[in-house]
Homo-oligomer: A and B are copies of this chain.
Amino acid sequence: MNNSYHHGDLKNALIRAGIEILSKDGVQALTLRQVAKKAGVSHAAPYAHFADKQALIAAIAAEGYRQLYEKLAAAQESRVDALARLMAVAQAYAQFAIDEPDHFKITFSGVVEAEKDYPDYVEQSKRCFALVMVVVTDCQSGGILEPGDPELATVSVWASIHGFVQLMLANQIPGALLAQYSMPELLSFHLNPFLRTNTQP
């Protein structure tokens, strides 16, 4: 099944190889030639499936969003009330970033640089946003979050979680805080100002 021609799905094999390199050796090791090598093809083979390196990165970023969506969906499925779902989503978001920092970073590195558009990436991005928006509007309905423009509220909550995670990956959160509190505690404190029932430390 793999003589001169590949198993028929080189495109996805390249994406998987890229993600594995990201996970094991980091973003500086993500080269087209290494990806091709890991997939068992010549260094020029990827060009049959991707226009250039940026296109492969866009595909890897879209897959990052897809995996993130799965984690968020799984995290909230097990909870019933809206607040627990919001916290579970926040925790799953942070956990994905901690588990796969380089894949997470590349997903939010701004691949969609104005001119070129990558439809799959955009679709996955919107799908993820929609999931968070459902949780946020449920919280608004339940009186847990302030009422108001749901899109605006979603951006606020999402950006808040995202910023915390980004700063953490960039080693910009004071070590004293990380030593003193657990991740769920930190996220809880962090989202507390948004809640209508405050119990700030």
Binding site for B on A (CB under 8 A): 105, 108-110, 112-114, 125, 129, 146-149, 151-152, 155-156, 158-167, 169-174, 176-177, 189-190, 193-194, 198, 200-201
Contacts and interface: CB of A to CB of B under 8 A. Distances in A.
Contact of A162 (B109, B110, B125, B166): B166
A152 B166 CA distance: 16
17 contacts: A108-B166, A109-B170, A110-B169, A110-B171, A125-B172, A129-B174, A148-B200, A152-B177, A155-B167, A155-B173, A156-B190, A159-B160, A159-B166, A160-B160, A162-B166, A163-B164, A193-B193
B201 A177 contact: no
B177 A155 contact: yes
Nearest to A156: B190
Given A171-B112, A172-B108, A159 B163 contact: yes
Contact of A108 (B170, B174, B189): B170
